[in-house]
Chains A and B, each alone.
Chain A
Amino acid sequence: MNIKQFVLYQGAVGMAASMIFPFYILLLRDVGSSFSQFGWAYGLFALTSALSFPFIGKFADRIGDKQLLLVYSWGMAVLLILFPLAYEIWHVYCLQIAMGLFGAIQKNSEKTVLARAVSKERAGREIGNYHIWTSVAAAIAVIGTGYLVDFLTIGSIFYLASLVFAWSGFFIMKAGSTESIKAGNL
């Protein structure tokens, strides 16, 4: 894999994640009925992330970043198609726990790939460049989806995002190892 492919991958998953993020509050609004339930849903997310980082960290060094990205892509692809089916608050809690785990995998892997890819001297500029493209993708996704919800139902957005994750899963499967990435070429 080269850095362009990695940016493309991160851009795509970032886009898909940002697509659902603002709107999944609307889903919570339908399912949850009080602010404390909101609090719990987000709290569980953060808590699972916190608890899983130590393990993810170890795994990243043992099995490699690529494998973890693969788990992330496919995990999210499947998870997102479960969201539209949630109709009780405990469904949302379970999904949030899984989201917390996958979110942590993505957070950690993005950083480990970059850490292995950048040169110490130019790390600032290289990571900066990397972020330009992924942030642009996220911005486009949020704004675009804002329009989409006028036309589609919230449910369809989850399916759409899931397809993007599935595509990213294939992309990672086909791409070579992340070890070869050199951020300098971006």
Chain B
Amino acid sequence: MVARYSIAIGFIIIFSFSLHLFSSSFDEPTVGDQSRLMAVKMKAVKAGTTTEELKKIVLDANKKDDVIAIAGMQHSQGGHTLYPKGILLDMKPYNKILSLDRQGKKITVQSGTSWAAIQEYINPSGLALQISQSQSIFTVGGSLSVNAHGLSIRNHSLIDTVDSFRLLTAKGEVLTVSREENQEMFPLAIGGYGLFGVILDVTLNLTDNELYEMSSHTLQYEDYPAYFKETVLSDKNYKMHLARLSISPDTFLKEMYVINYALAPHQSKLVDFLPLKREPIVAIPKFFLGMSRINDFGKRTFWETQKNYAKKVQGKLISRNNAMRSDSVFMEYTNPDKTEVLQEYFVPIDEFEHYLDDLRSVLEDDETFNLLNITVRYVEKNEEPLLAYATKDMFSLVLLINQGKDQNSIEQTRKTVQNMIDVTLAHNGSYYLPYYGYATKEQMKAAYPRSEEFFKLKNIYDPDHRFQNLFFEEYGDEH
């Protein structure tokens, strides 16, 4: 009897201890090809940890006439890091943090560094990133190459925060690129999808880590643009913002909730919120997301759960660094026949209401399209990169879509996505390029009026197409 009790207690103690450790240490995300829609046989995977090694890889490729596809964490979903028989240049090992200038608030890192690693490095100095995606799982090089944007409403997109970088060109030369030096490469390599050279080390401008107070509201979509402009954007205390649109059949694309991050009144409390947050146990959101994949009942439940969750954040305090490393594990999805892909559309703020009406009519008759989540964020106008997506102040809508991996399902999704992009373009919008290349060439051209110039310059700077990927082959190779 005693033995049984002591074993039971011993086991419970180890079990809880492990669970505790597990829930608080789940920090490192899965890496690898994430959408699993494309499998491409490449010739070799190469990597380097110094400029010289990387240079040699490019020079060797020149000699042997190999093409190179550059890869970070490979979260892009349209073959941007892949090319058949090409050399995959894995930038992940090129990940040293080179210097931090605390006074000047600047950091220089090698481009394979992840946002998470930078956050860990700068958090003790009271500094934070100005811009990153909502999650911190990406590499700096991959993020620069798509000109990422995130929750912050007080900066434009990532390009805005880049001071300078070094670029390894197709000829094997290393250029320092900034707005003053080799400035023609600045708007090409940033948002350049790995086509203009290997981004080596990058100097980024940082900002102060701050304490934010979260708030949330539920509202109807037609009230959202005015709410956002009048309540959020015009009040300088608001620093970050996101919203979600209902995917529940009853309130489809009508009901919304918003989450705001405003500067907290007592910044002195920041010390209590400094430790970088670990991924919490994700079983619950993952469970409801799992239900929403199955049917309308699941979608209703998921939406209600999300709304309740949003209510709970009211008044919660969070540091800027923690706000910029939100959970991602609940999205890890392991069904072998299906996958989850993202799409992102940008529409001018004033078009939002009518845009959603049109989008709703496209999607409402579509039985097969399995939409799981829509997140809305704000991106300020920024036309600096050649492939600029925010030609006005815009809302971005990120759609999470569950789809089969067989050809049939891909074609079905293609049709729906092309319809959605048509609607987006009709509202002077644009779409984001890192995701699966469902868009037609014409749609790409319409969304990115300067793409022709971009591809022409690609041919001038890299006439042999040393840097290649499936994205370029699909949309640019005729030039």
Q: Do A and B bind each other?
A: yes
Known: A85-B18, A85-B21, A85-B22. Contact between A153 and B283, CB under 8 A?
yes
Q: Let me know if A150 and B334 touch, CB within 8 A.
A: yes
Output the residue of B7, B30, B335 with the most chain A CB within 10 A. B7
Question: Which of B25, B291, B330, B334 lies in contact with A85, CB distance below 8 A?
Answer: B25
Output the residue of B11, B14, B28, B32 with the most chain A CB within 10 A. B11
B181, chain A: closest CB distance, angstroms: 37
B contact residues around A150 at 8 Å (CB): 290, 293, 333-335
Tally of contact residues, B, Cβ under 8 A: 29
Q: Let me know if B18 and A152 touch, CB within 8 A.
A: no
Q: Let me know if A159 and B293 touch, CB within 8 A.
A: no
Say if the beta carbon of B154 comes within 8 Å of chain A. no
Per the bound structure, the CA–CA distance linking A156 and B282 in Å amounts to: 9
A contact residues around B64 at 8 Å (CB): none
Question: Which of A30, A81, A169, A170 lies in contact with B14, CB distance below 8 A?
Answer: A81
B contact residues around A170 at 8 Å (CB): 4, 7-8
Per the bound structure, the CA–CA distance linking A81 and B3 in Å amounts to: 21
B12 (CB) vs chain A CBs: closest residue: A166
Q: Let me know if A26 and B334 touch, CB within 8 A.
A: yes
A contact residues around B28 at 8 Å (CB): 87
Per the bound structure, the CA–CA distance linking A30 and B7 in Å amounts to: 32
Known: A74-B7, A87-B28, A150-B290. Contact between A159 and B334, CB under 8 A?
no
A90, chain B: closest CB distance, angstroms: 16
B299, chain A: closest CB distance, angstroms: 15
Q: Let me know if A81 and B286 touch, CB within 8 A.
A: no
Q: Let me know if A153 and B293 touch, CB within 8 A.
A: no
Produce 1/0 per residue, B458-476, CB < 8 A to A. 0000000000000000000
Q: Which of B7-26 contact A (CB under 8 A)?
A: 7-8, 11, 14-15, 18-19, 21-22, 25-26
Per the bound structure, the CA–CA distance linking A30 and B329 in Å amounts to: 13
Question: Which of B18, B30, B282, B335 lies in contact with A81, CB distance below 8 A?
Answer: B18
Per the bound structure, the CA–CA distance linking A74 and B11 in Å amounts to: 9
A contact residues around B335 at 8 Å (CB): 150
Question: Which of B18, B25, B329 lies in contact with A82, CB distance below 8 A?
Answer: B18
Say if the beta carbon of A64 comes within 8 Å of chain B. no
Say if the beta carbon of A115 comes within 8 Å of chain B. no
B399, chain A: closest CB distance, angstroms: 20
Q: Let me know if B22 and A155 touch, CB within 8 A.
A: yes
Q: Let me know if A155 and B26 touch, CB within 8 A.
A: yes
Per the bound structure, the CA–CA distance linking A26 and B22 in Å amounts to: 17
Say if the beta carbon of A78 comes within 8 Å of chain B. yes
Q: Let me know if A162 and B283 touch, CB within 8 A.
A: no
Q: Let me know if A153 and B332 touch, CB within 8 A.
A: yes
A contact residues around B14 at 8 Å (CB): 78, 81
Q: Let me know if A169 and B7 touch, CB within 8 A.
A: yes
B contact residues around A169 at 8 Å (CB): 7, 11
Chain A at the B interface: SS class: helix
A contact residues around B282 at 8 Å (CB): 153
Say if the beta carbon of B227 comes within 8 Å of chain A. no
Q: Let me know if B30 and A152 touch, CB within 8 A.
A: no
Chain B at the A interface: SS class: helix
Q: Let me know if A156 and B283 touch, CB within 8 A.
A: yes
B91, chain A: closest CB distance, angstroms: 15
Q: Let me know if B287 and A159 touch, CB within 8 A.
A: no
A contact residues around B18 at 8 Å (CB): 81-82, 84-85, 159
Q: Let me know if A152 and B287 touch, CB within 8 A.
A: yes
Q: Let me know if B4 and A173 touch, CB within 8 A.
A: yes
Q: Let me know if B333 and A30 touch, CB within 8 A.
A: no
A78 (CB) vs chain B CBs: closest residue: B14
Per the bound structure, the CA–CA distance linking A163 and B22 in Å amounts to: 16
Produce 1/0 per residue, A80-107, CB < 8 A to B. 0110110100000000000000000000
Question: Which of B7, B8, B286, B291 lies in contact with A153, CB distance below 8 A?
Answer: B286
Known: A26-B334, A84-B22. Contact between A152 and B15, CB under 8 A?
no
Q: Let me know if B19 and A159 touch, CB within 8 A.
A: yes
A contact residues around B7 at 8 Å (CB): 74, 169-170, 173
Say if the beta carbon of A143 comes within 8 Å of chain B. no
Per the bound structure, the CA–CA distance linking A170 and B25 in Å amounts to: 30
B contact residues around A74 at 8 Å (CB): 7, 11
Per the bound structure, the CA–CA distance linking A151 and B330 in Å amounts to: 9
Q: Which of B334-354 contact A (CB under 8 A)?
A: 334-335
A16, chain B: closest CB distance, angstroms: 14
Q: Let me know if B334 and A149 touch, CB within 8 A.
A: yes
Say if the beta carbon of A19 comes within 8 Å of chain B. no
Q: Which of A35-83 contact B (CB under 8 A)?
A: 74, 77-78, 81-82
B296, chain A: closest CB distance, angstroms: 18
A contact residues around B11 at 8 Å (CB): 74, 77-78, 166, 169
B313, chain A: closest CB distance, angstroms: 22
Q: Let me know if B290 and A151 touch, CB within 8 A.
A: yes
Per the bound structure, the CA–CA distance linking A152 and B290 in Å amounts to: 9
Per the bound structure, the CA–CA distance linking A153 and B331 in Å amounts to: 10
Q: Which of A151-181 contact B (CB under 8 A)?
A: 151-156, 159, 162-163, 166, 169-170, 173-174
Q: Which of B280-295 contact A (CB under 8 A)?
A: 282-283, 286-287, 290-291, 293
Q: What 9 pairs across the A-B complex have the smallest Cβ distances?
A: A151-B290, A81-B18, A84-B22, A151-B287, A150-B290, A149-B334, A166-B11, A156-B283, A152-B283
A-B contact pairs, 29 of them (CB 8 A): A26-B334, A81-B14, A81-B15, A81-B18, A81-B19, A84-B18, A85-B21, A85-B25, A87-B25, A87-B28, A149-B334, A150-B290, A150-B335, A152-B283, A152-B286, A152-B287, A153-B286, A153-B330, A154-B334, A155-B22, A159-B15, A159-B18, A159-B19, A162-B15, A163-B15, A170-B4, A173-B3, A173-B7, A174-B4
**A84-B22, A151-B290 provided; 12 other pairs, C-beta below 8 A?**
A77-B11, A78-B14, A81-B14, A84-B18, A85-B25, A87-B28, A150-B293, A150-B333, A159-B18, A169-B11, A170-B4, A170-B8
